[in-house]
A and B are shown apart, each in its own frame.
Chain A
Amino acid sequence: AQTVTQSQPEMSVQEAETVTLSCTYDTSESNYYLFWYKQPPSRQMILVIRQEAYKQQNATENRFSVNFQKAAKSFSLKISDSQLGDTAMYFCAFMKGAGANSKLTFGKGITLSVRP
């Protein structure tokens, strides 16, 4: 079974600064998919970024980028130029594959607060 660990329960960052959220996972699979989801106080879960394990290149989406270290089973999210709207709970998640393997396993989440 897969496990996803987010050991930091809370973080705070000043507006316009950069923050990194940590995530580690454990799996025996060689190919899989990793995600960061954002859940604002309104509770709508939003997909932030996705990484395929077979790709060495780290995924980027505008101000969001990941540092994927497959050997270390580490998948951190970097948010650059933090904005007040980035205040939310962030979940790291793991997926084995498509179809019957497409269920997500989530970490406990981290609450990020962006200070004005």
Chain B
Amino acid sequence: SAVISQKPSRDICQRGTSLTIQCQVDSQVTMMFWYRQQPGQSLTLIATANQGSEATYESGFVIDKFPISRPNLTFSTLTVSNMSPEDSSIYLCSVEGQGYYEQYFGPGTRLTVT
């Protein structure tokens, strides 16, 4: 499985500001995914990031709020813009496994918005 790191691991931010979360993989992958996990809840997919193309967003998530970059096959960023307390969540990136039909997750970024 791939080794995935995320930065920062946690942050406390003030409302109205933005935070960029980085996801780094130790091998080249085609598909990267960003999920949100609200407190005590399950994971919800925000968007799929394919290298060299615009991210594909799920219903309820928009690019202005969650812009994503995917500059190469090992790296992606998710920005949470104009934050409000409702954005307090764990944000996780994942990658498609080498054998496809499986995904591996990063350790997550715990975001608290005050």
Task: Give the B-binding residues of A (Cβ under 8 A).
Answer: 33, 35, 37, 42-47, 50, 52, 91, 95, 97-100, 102-109
- Tell which of B43, B101, B104 touches A91, judged by Cβ atoms closer than 8 Å: B43
User: 5 pairs across A/B with beta carbons < 8 Å?
Assistant: A45-B94, A45-B105, A100-B48, A107-B42, A108-B42
For A43, list chain B residues within 8 Å (CB): 90, 107-108, 110
Closest to B9 in A: A43
For B66, list chain A residues within 8 Å (CB): none
Task: Give the A-binding residues of B (Cβ under 8 A).
Answer: 1, 30-31, 33, 41-45, 48, 56, 58, 90, 92, 94, 96, 100-105, 107-108, 110
For B110, list chain A residues within 8 Å (CB): 43
Closest to B109 in A: A43
Complex Cα distance, B94 from A44, in Å, reads 11
For A50, list chain B residues within 8 Å (CB): 101-102
- Interface of B, helix, strand, loop or mixed by DSSP: strand
Complex Cα distance, B96 from A97, in Å, reads 11
- Tell which of B45, B90, B96, B103 touches A47, judged by Cβ atoms closer than 8 Å: B103
For B96, list chain A residues within 8 Å (CB): 98, 102
What distance in Å separates the Cβ of B81 from its nearest Cβ neighbour in chain A? 22
For A98, list chain B residues within 8 Å (CB): 96, 100-101
Q: A47-B102, A98-B96 are in contact. Are A103 and B33 (CB under 8 A)?
A: yes
15 additional contacts, CB 8 Å, given A100-B56, A103-B33?
A43-B107, A44-B108, A45-B92, A45-B94, A47-B102, A47-B103, A47-B104, A91-B43, A98-B100, A100-B48, A102-B31, A103-B58, A104-B45, A106-B42, A108-B42
